[in-house]
Amino acid sequence: MTLRPSRSLRDDLALGGRITAMRLGGLALALRGDPVARLMHKPWRYDPYPTYAAVRGEGLARSRVGLSAVGTHALCEQVLRDRRFGVRLADGRPPFAPEDAESSLLEPVDLSLLGMDPPDHTRLRRLAAPTFTPKRLERYRTVAEEITGRLLDDAAARGRFDLVRDLAAPLPITVIARLLAIPSVDADRFARWGRALATALDGVRSVAHAHELSRTTAEARELFTDLVDRRRADPGEDVVSQLVGALDAGQMSLDELVSLAQLLLVAGFETTTNLVGNAVRALQATPGQWEALVADPSLAGGAVEETLRYDPPVQLTARIAHEDTELAGVPFRRNWGVLVLVAAAGRDPAAHPDPDRFDLHRVPTTPHLAFSGGAHYCLGAALARLEGEVALRMLAERVPGLRRAGRVVPKTATILRGPRTFPVAA
């Protein structure tokens, strides 16, 4: 669902009023201890793990915001894999009907597969999946290493740098730009769009934010539509060329292609940026962990997996029951929604021994759910793992004396978690 831009001052005032009412109502519930409301408000969302623990203890946590939540590994995995749950209503409509004014607040940007159920989800995923196989993506390892090396050379030469601005953000945006064959001149603009679109996952924060998202989606659509014309005239091996073939064969529409490209932009950028930032923060904060990685940089892959369990870049997702069922022994009605707290599942002591300890030597006893599960398992999981492993390994090799050099400022978000700024010294 795309954002419906405000057309007048009256529309903006109405939108601003709805946002304020929702914020104040949610904050009041949070102050009364509502766990779901707390995940959406400061200061609780800066450190959501105590709230996650409370949800795990309840089994199925009810909330007056209209959603329930589950946080144990068993319940999260059950919901993600259960075909009786989807991301849309049982009749296929979006969770918030178009005539509902608040739908523009909660679904401001169409992010393709994230908002689709089968059969459309299956059709589009099948068209994009061949590009994201681990074997095919391995060719981008050299690209990631070349980009990381250049970024670290520039950063280390300055002595002090910002881990997010100077490495964790430019690495994945450059790789995804290569993957989509975006002209290099557009890379900075591409990154700005990725950051803006990612903020939409938590809903619209203000009238200004609504207008920013409207501009961003219009600009992104213009770029991707132009790319379709370019790839039709001069096809290559990139994702857009592959999708243009599907478009011309009548297997997808132009709107679907553009929305899928937007999803790849967000999923290929913000998630990996947060993964690298969260990993370095945990490595630096846990005694002996950074030193262990420096002594053996081949542990970088293990550090990635441990970060995905311990502090994943995507903290939660949502599902909707397509029929009356039961969840955690409680009746759960058709079209009721539930937040699946994958980050809470990663700290579940029933699935992960000593779960609040970060340990890059950990031998997993249960697979983490950081990439979701079931039909919506993350299409870009292999790419995120590759980029994270390259970034952490090369950091340990080239900047062994890395240390924090100031306050780490977190992003203000519920779904995506990671540092906004992370000053370090070489």
Number of other CB atoms surrounding residue 178 within 10 Å: 16
Cβ–Cβ under 8 Å, residues 317 and 371 = no
Burial 111-146 (b: 16+ CB within 10 A, else e): bbbbbbbeebbeebbebbeebbeeeebeebeebbee
Nearest Cα neighbor of 18 from 200, 210, 195 is 210
Q: What's residue 103's pLDDT? A: 42
Q: What is the pLDDT along the chain (426 residues), one digit of tens a residue?
A: 344 444 577 777 777 787 777 778 778 888 888 999 999 888 998 999 999 999 999 999 999 888 999 999 999 999 999 999 999 999 998 886 544 444 444 445 667 788 899 999 999 999 988 888 888 888 889 999 999 999 999 988 888 999 999 999 999 988 988 888 877 656 677 777 777 777 777 777 778 888 888 888 888 888 888 888 988 988 888 888 889 999 999 999 999 998 888 788 777 788 999 999 999 999 999 999 999 999 999 999 999 999 999 999 999 999 999 999 999 999 999 999 999 999 999 999 999 999 999 999 999 999 999 999 999 999 899 999 999 999 999 999 999 999 999 999 999 889 999 999 999 998
Angle, vertex CA 276, rays to CA 275 and CA 281, nearest 5:
100
Helix axes 170-180, 187-199, angle to 10 degrees: 110
In this structure, what DSSP letter does residue 131 have?
G
Length of the chain: 426
Cβ–Cβ under 8 Å, residues 345 and 71 = yes
Return the CATH superfamily for domain 9-425. Answer: Cytochrome P450 (1.10.630.10)
Q: What's residue 202's pLDDT? A: 78
Angle, vertex CA 127, rays to CA 126 and CA 133, nearest 5:
70
**Does an H or E element contain 391, and which?**
helix 381-398
- Between CA 255 and CA 7 the distance in angstroms is 23
At 326, the amino acid letter reads E
In order, the DSSP letters of 274-340 are HHHHHHHHHHHHSTTHHHHHHH-GGGHHHHHHHHHHHS-SB--EEEEESS-EEETTEEE-TT-EEEE
Name the pTM for this structure. 0.91
Long-range CB pairs of 133-139 (<8 Å, 24+ gap) are: 133/382, 134/382, 137/382, 137/383, 137/386, 138/386
For the chain, which residues make up each domain, given as ranges? Answer: 9-425
Cβ–Cβ under 8 Å, residues 187 and 177 = yes
- Between CA 359 and CA 401 the distance in angstroms is 20
